[in-house]
Amino acid sequence: MSVSMLKEEVKQTFGINVSMGQCRRAKKHAIELIEGTLVEHYSKLWSYGEEIRRSNPGSTVKIGVNSMPDGKTYFIGRDANNHIFQIAWVVVCVENKENWKWFLENLRDDHGMENGFGITLMSDQHKGLLEAVKDILPNTEHRQCARHIVANFRKRFTGVHYEWLFWRACKASTEPLFIAVMKEIQLLNPAAFEYLMEKNPKSWCRAFFQEGRMCDAVENGLSESFNNVIRDARKKPIITMLEEIRLYVMERQFNLSNKGSSWPDFKPCPTITTLLNQLKKAQRYWQVLPTGLNQFETRNLAKAYVVDLDKKTCSYRVWQLNGYGCVHSVATISFLNRDVGSYVDTMYFGLVYKNTYKYPMHGMNGSNMWPCTDYSPPLPPLRRKMPGRPKVNRRKDPSENTTRHTVSKVGKFFLCSVCKEVGHNKATCPKVDKPKKLKVIRGKKEKGGEGGSGTNTNIGDNGGEGGSETKTNGAGKGGEGGSGTKTNGGANGGQGGNGKQPKAKETTRKRKYSERIIKKKLAKRVEGKNGEGNTSGKPLDID
């Protein structure tokens, strides 16, 4: 519950108004009563680490309390079904080169990476991480997330055309295709060409990725999705946060293990099969021509690529990068009436998927059962106050769609809450008695005789020649030689007389006048300037 919601709840329940500061302190106190204080959490860190080692043998737990944890680091991989697989996570005070080196050293020692040969890493453009990978894992293929690069590229070079050309260059699988797109960028804007070349295209373009890694991804969306899942856990104390992450990973691995238990061992996983079916739909645009033993040429107008089924290679290079094939390889295999799934790399087989989840995470006891240690309990470090309001949600790129998703109501049937029939609501229901409308009857106009006087309070009246006219609500014309006076209606004085015409509608100020003031004014105006046409010895009585 947010602080504003808590304030409104207190007002409705107890009928008292409280300030936002009081609500914040009350919420903080309630959370401490439920989850414990920071001192209690940090005093149990050594026991928590021992319980992890006891319940999950082989796990690595290292604790160093020197500053308030602020940054979170995750190491996430992909399983045989091309889904997220959590490998390790760490809580640090800040993401800098020193902490990244410490994390990569532990990761290298635990998994036997040595110098990183055969390993592919993908990350954002964090300078500390880029330098740490060069020092700890020098032989690792370190890719940069293309989405982070294009976000910075868009700030300097605005325009959709620049972005389209960048993604074409990023997903170009061969060097000639990459060079052709970069020439277009150079002709359009040489500064944009220089900017992209400074970002080291070998780290973000498919044309320079190493083959046999079974991954042709150019963006790192897996880490962002996992970060969104644990968004609420990051706001809680350290042990509560770590426990929620552990419980989520443990439950997810168990569900994925059960999901793949019935999959065949030597056939591709369902996600890979879905990707192959999509490629089968696009193969009809390609013509296959045999050139040798298990060697073919696939053509589509001016485009042509060579496929070798024995080596499982294609000159387009996508088959070597992803491991399951491209549209050219699928067209060639289908041309021979063979099973496309038999040419998929064994890394995507169901047997490898089952081996990935062969060792599940084991459950742990509660804090009352944790083993005691001889180490002195650490105190919580000093909180580092950062400027501004703390960021909780992921910072979205300006190009991301931020509009709210709405569901169309076209074709949806609505039921009336009164008669329970389709086609109308209670406002238009024929069974509901509607109130009758009141009719307003307006007065008729009359004319006064010649030389007479016309006086009317609610009905329009026209005075005759030489007469006078007084009107309060009607509309009329003063006759010749007469005078016209009007308070609420419209009147025109005749020729040779005095005509006074106020506004057509009564203003709000005039409505507030008292009857006494109105009577005095009417009495003076009836007499006229010269006293002509006065047929009344006393002021007009409008009562």
Instruction: Give me the DSSP letters along 224-283.
Output: HHHHHHTTTGGGS-HHHHHHHHHHHHHHHHHHHHHHTTTS-TTSB-HHHHHHHHHHHHHG
Q: What is the largest CA-CA distance in the chain?
A: 129
Residue 396 reports pLDDT greater than 50: yes
Give me the pLDDT at residue 250, please. Answer: 93
**Range in 72-76, 331-335, 391-395, 512-516 with the lowest mean pLDDT:** 512-516
Lowest mean pLDDT: which of 120-134, 189-203, 315-329? 120-134
Strands 313-314 and 303-308: antiparallel
- What per-residue confidence (pLDDT) applies to 367? 87
Mean pLDDT of 384-411: 67
> CA 285 to CA 299: how far, in whole Å?
9
Give whole-number Cα distances, 262 to 275, 353, 368, in Å. 20, 11, 39
Q: Which residue has the higher pLDDT, 428 or 398?
A: 428
**Which range, 114-123, 224-233, 273-282, is most confident?**
273-282
Domain membership of residue 411 (yes or no) is no
pLDDT at 110 over 70: yes
Question: Are residues 443 and 459 in contact, defined by beta-carbon separation less than 8 angstroms?
Answer: yes
Q: Please report the pLDDT score of residue 539 as a whole number.
A: 42
**Is 493 a residue whose pLDDT tops 60?**
no
pLDDT at 542: 39
* Least confident residue range of 98-102, 293-297, 403-407, 478-482: 478-482
Could you tell me the pLDDT band of residue 160, with boundaries at 50, 70 and 90? confident
Residue 248 φ then ψ, to 5° = -65, -45
What pLDDT does residue 96 have? 84
Residue 103 included in any domain: no
**For the residues 384-406, what does the mean pLDDT come to?**
66
Distance, in Å, from the CA atom of 22 to the CA atom of 31, rounded to the nearest integer, reads: 14
Q: What is the extent of the structural domain holding 19? A: 3-48
Question: Given a cut of 70, is residue 312 above it in pLDDT?
Answer: yes
Question: Residue 31 falls within a domain, yes or no?
Answer: yes
What pLDDT shows up at residue 508? 60
Mean pLDDT of 494-503: 43
pLDDT value of residue 12: 73
Lowest-pLDDT range, 131-140, 215-224, 420-429, 513-522?
A: 513-522
User: Does the residue 500 lie in any domain?
Assistant: yes
Which residue, chain included where needed, has tokens 């046999």? 212
How far apart, in whole angstroms, are the C-alpha atoms of residue 379 and residue 371?
19
Let me know if residue 533 belongs to a domain: no
Mean pLDDT value across residues 498-507 = 47
Cα angle 198-203-205, degrees, rounded to a multiple of 5: 95
Residue 515 in any domain: the answer is: yes
Q: What's the predicted TM-score (pTM) here? A: 0.66
* Residue 234 domain flag: no
pLDDT at 327 over 60: yes
Number of domains in the chain: 3
Residue 162 in this model has a pLDDT that exceeds 60: yes
**Residue 472 in contact with residue 488, Cβ under 8 Å?**
yes
Residue 352 has a pLDDT of 94
* pLDDT of the residue at 75: 78
Range name among 152-166, 349-363, 374-388 with the lowest pLDDT average: 374-388
Convert the pLDDT of each residue in 435-457 to its tens digit.
666 565 655 444 444 444 444 44
Q: Does 300 map to a domain?
A: yes
Higher pLDDT, 510 or 330: 330
What pLDDT digit, counting tens, does each position of 231-262 carry?
A: 888 878 888 888 999 999 999 999 999 999 99
What is the DSSP secondary-structure string of 280-294? HHHGGG-EEEEEETT
* Per-residue pLDDT, 482: 39
Distance CA 20, CA 519 (A): 58
Residue in this structure with the two tokens 């107890």, named with its chain if needed: 14
Q: Strand pairing of 446-447 and 461-462?
A: parallel
Q: List residues bridging with 335 in a β-sheet.
A: none
Q: What is the pLDDT of residue 395?
A: 67
In the chain, the N- to C-terminal Cα span, in Å, equals 64
Q: Residue 453, class by beta-carbon neighbours within 10 Å (0-12 exposed, 13-18 middle, 19+ buried)?
A: buried
